[in-house]
Amino acid sequence: MSASSQNYHQTYQSWQEDPLAFWAHAAQGVDWMSPFERVFDPSAGVYGRWFPGGVCNTAYNCLDRHVERGRKGQAALIYDSPITGSKKVYSFEDLRDEVSAFGAVLKNLGVGKGDRVVVYMPMIPEAAIAMLACARIGAIHSVVFGGFAASELATRIDDARPKAIISASCGIEPNRVIAYKPLLDEAIDLSTHKPELTVIKQREQKPCDLIDGRDHDYDALLADANARGIDSDPEPMDATDPLYILYTSGTTGIPKGVVRDHGGHMVALNWTMSAIYDMQPGDVFWAASDVGWVVGHSYIVYAPLLAGCTTILYEGKPVGTPDPGAFWRVIEEHKVSSLFTAPTAFRAIKKEDPDGAFIEKYDLHTLKTLFLAGERADPDTIEWAQEKLRVPVIDHWWQTETGWAIAGNPVGLGKLPVRLGSPTVAMPGYDVQVIDDAGHPVPADTLGNIVVKLPLPPGCLPTLWNNDERFKASYLEEFPGYYKTADAGMIDGDGYLFIMARTDDIINVAGHRLSTGGMEEVLSGHPAVAEAAVIGVSDALKGQLPAGFVVTKDGVDLPMEQLEKEMVALVREKIGPVAAFKTVMVVDRLPKTRSGKILRGTMRQIADGEPYKMPATIDDPAILDEISGALKTKGYAA
């Protein structure tokens, strides 16, 4: 065993032997206003709660304590926006001051502890400031990704019931400026719950009108707060109080409100920065994601700041802003130590710059490691990145629900040998097992359901927002005593994990998690549609892309192209451009089992050109040929 693998094994073993001592020790990495009474209370909450009795504040730990301890002049957040040609550096002191002032603004508007605040923002510093200001005053933020449509935003408004919404006048994509305000207004029209107020950051690319009495101007409020010298103190929060709600796709169209608490979240994220990512205070960490996703919450905003690192908030793409050298410029310019992104970003770069010519133009000597997550990292992409960047490329596996890596290669403890196709080993805190459908453990190298023995470690969701029952039903009931990840895969003889597929209807499009069930609901809502099925088809760039099949109602007599266009537009309107829903086929029938279950798995195998077994229970095998024919018309190998 090498020294580094010994380190990992010793650490994992020390957690297994005494998990409470392990997390109590990790908890020393953050500041507490009052110490916790217990490390873990198994009788509280659905499966137990971490650090009950502890009082703390996440924003204080991200900002004030670093200001107080000699880091006030260090860059805390660097905003780099090739899409608008702007950059701005916030020191820890600058960021603390703006967060504190904006916290005071929110309080003056009547937002207080426990109130929900929806944040619907593009990748601008004010998004992170809004999140941290909520954390400071004890309000619970719920960030909604900008690529979601108004009705998705409305669903989240109705579930979170926010007092306020913080948004911006527009977001900017390479091919267009997206007016956010009409989307926001439409969402508020659609929702049953009406927020009392909004705060809007006006952007010069497309300012918007504000509604008197409801909408407030971010800059005006902040200027007023600064002129009056008002600020906010970090609110004492129970460790178990919610810090945020982040909605993620569930098995129906209604998203799940993943809850994160203050105490456990801080302890876990702070621990990961050194142990998993090998980052020291003062290092520059860059998660090229979006604050609307969990990666953005954990590794653009909270973890780097908790650890006293500089974080980069990048408003741009891996390619086209302006070229496939965009990432390398940022790394050189801001002296990035670790880059964290989704494999799809690298596939996009590799497609445009297969020889890595742009990489050679930049000095990347500060870059120590590339971390990938969000979807399966295909071996080709890993090998290309390793060869071109000449740094370790680390795949790690996690979910919105966990907030940090379930499995990874803990570079800070000592890098383990990389096995292509595997996100390496379980992290301390997670007892990962593979079991069959009856709940029995399967031998090594055998495909099964990946589960985590309860309790989940600090930082993972304690429940779903206002919905313990759905939390239990979705994650805990099928395999009692375990958290169901809904990923299938295997563990080899050395403990390396292999994540193969989801066991539910979730697909992963460009690292974005989407529910095919949600898309089917939208298609079924079209007046001409009798029945719909959506599958995720392999895509060389985005990993997967959705493809829809619809059967029309009897008597519908519309040209097929028109129907297809209408359905593509409907999914874009109801779910948003992020669904990347561009392919739909009108078919006469869907393949089903004799009991009426649509054979989506077989349809996906056909679309991917994989060999498949004729399902024994199929109602009419001829339908599979019809599906294959429809796919061929759309250019699939089928």
Q: Residue 434 corresponds to which tokens in the numbers above?
A: 């593979």
Complex with ligand AMP: residue 511 or 591, whichever CB lies closer: 511
Q: Which does 345 bind (CB under 5 to 8 A by kind): ligand AMP, ligand COA, none?
A: ligand COA
String of contacts with ligand COA for each residue 30-69, x by CB under 6 A: ----------------------------------------
Q: Which does 278 bind (CB under 5 to 8 A by kind): ligand COA, ligand AMP, none?
A: none
Complex with ligand COA: residue 196 or 380, whichever CB lies closer: 380
String of contacts with ligand COA for each residue 554-593, x by CB under 6 A: -----------------------xx-x-------------
Complex with ligand AMP: residue 514 or 547, whichever CB lies closer: 514
Report the chain's C-alpha Rg in angstroms. Answer: 24
Range 376-415, binding ligand COA (CB under 6 A):
none
| 264, 402 Cβ separation under 8 angstroms | no
Q: How far apart are the C-alpha atoms of 15 and 357, rounded to whole Å?
A: 45
Report, in Å, the least distance between residue 131 CB and ligand AMP: 18
Q: How many CB atoms lie within 10 A of CB 236?
A: 14
**Residue of 52, 54, 146, 263 that binds ligand COA (CB under 6 A):** 146
Q: Which does 162 bind (CB under 5 to 8 A by kind): ligand AMP, ligand COA, none?
A: none
Q: What is the 3-state secondary structure (H, E, C) of 172-211?
A: EECCEEEEHHHHHHHHHHHCCCCCCEEEEECCCCCCCCCC
Measured on CA atoms in the order 266, 271, 277, 281, is the torsion positive or negative? Answer: positive
Complex with ligand COA: residue 173 or 619, whichever CB lies closer: 173
Q: How far apart are the C-alpha atoms of 79 and 50, rounded to whole Å?
A: 34
Beta strand pairing status for 506-509 and 512-515? antiparallel
**Total residue count of the chain as it appears in this document:** 638
If binding is defined by CB under 6 A, does position 173 make contact with ligand COA?
yes
Range 518-557, binding ligand AMP (CB under 6 A):
none
**Residue of 153, 183, 269, 294 that binds ligand AMP (CB under 6 A):** 294
Report, in Å, the least distance between residue 369 CB and ligand AMP: 15
The piece of 20-28, 188-196, 341-349, 472-480 that touches ligand COA (CB under 6 A) is 341-349
Measured on CA atoms in the order 353, 354, 355, 359, is the torsion positive or negative? Answer: positive
Q: Which does 499 bind (CB under 5 to 8 A by kind): ligand COA, ligand AMP, none?
A: ligand AMP
Instruction: Report whether the peptide linkage leading into residue 455 is cis, meaning its omega lies within 30 degrees of zero.
Output: yes
- Residue 514, beta-bridge partner list: 507
Report, in Å, the least distance between residue 324 CB and ligand AMP: 23
Give how far the C-alpha of residue 191 lies from the chain's centroid of Cα atoms, to the nearest Å.
Answer: 24
Q: How many CB atoms lie within 10 A of CB 633?
A: 10
The single residue listed with the structure tokens 């650890």 is 307
CA atoms within 13 A on the CB side of 541: 8
Report, in Å, the least distance between residue 546 CB and ligand COA: 11
The piece of 275-283, 290-298, 432-440, 603-611 that touches ligand COA (CB under 6 A) is 290-298
Complex with ligand AMP: residue 497 or 623, whichever CB lies closer: 497
If binding is defined by CB under 6 A, does position 348 make contact with ligand COA?
yes
3-state secondary structure of 371: strand
Which amino acid is residue 199, in one-letter code?
A: V
Report, in Å, the least distance between residue 61 CB and ligand COA: 24
Helix (H) or strand (E) holding 246: strand 242-248
Range 388-447, binding ligand AMP (CB under 6 A):
395-400, 423
| 20, 39 Cβ separation under 8 angstroms | yes
Report, in Å, the least distance between residue 504 CB and ligand AMP: 9
Range 180-209, binding ligand COA (CB under 6 A):
none
Q: Residue 554 corresponds to which tokens in the numbers above?
A: 């009897």
Q: Which among 593, 573, 557 is positioned nearest to 523, based on CA atoms?
A: 573
Q: Residue 35 corresponds to which tokens in the numbers above?
A: 């110490």
Q: Which does 217 bind (CB under 5 to 8 A by kind): ligand COA, ligand AMP, none?
A: none
Beta strand pairing status for 407-408 and 425-426? antiparallel
If binding is defined by CB under 6 A, does position 592 make contact with ligand AMP?
no
If binding is defined by CB under 6 A, does position 143 make contact with ligand AMP?
no
Q: Residues binding ligand COA: what is the number (CB under 6 A)?
A: 24
The C-alpha angle with vertex 613 and arms to 437 and 581, in degrees rounded to 5, equals 80
Q: How far apart are the C-alpha atoms of 143 and 297, rounded to whole Å?
A: 9
Complex with ligand AMP: residue 241 or 375, whichever CB lies closer: 375
Q: Residues binding ligand AMP: what is the number (CB under 6 A)?
A: 19
Q: How far apart are the C-alpha atoms of 119 and 195, rounded to whole Å?
A: 12
Complex with ligand COA: residue 11 or 344, whichever CB lies closer: 344
**Residue of 181, 513, 526, 604 that binds ligand AMP (CB under 6 A):** 513
Q: How far apart are the C-alpha atoms of 587 and 16, rounded to whole Å?
A: 54
Complex with ligand AMP: residue 352 or 383, whichever CB lies closer: 383
Distance linking the first and last C-alpha atoms of the chain: 46
String of contacts with ligand COA for each residue 256-275, x by CB under 6 A: --------------------
Report, in Å, the least distance between residue 9 CB and ligand AMP: 21
If binding is defined by CB under 6 A, does position 317 make contact with ligand COA?
yes
Integer CA distances (angstroms), 507 to 112, 146, 285, 359, in order:
37, 19, 28, 31
Binding site residues, ligand AMP, CB under 6 A: 248, 294, 373-377, 395-400, 423, 487, 499, 502, 508, 513
Q: Which residues are near ligand COA by CB under 6 A?
A: 122, 146-147, 171, 173, 178, 289-290, 293, 295, 317-319, 341-342, 344-345, 348, 374, 510-511, 577-578, 580
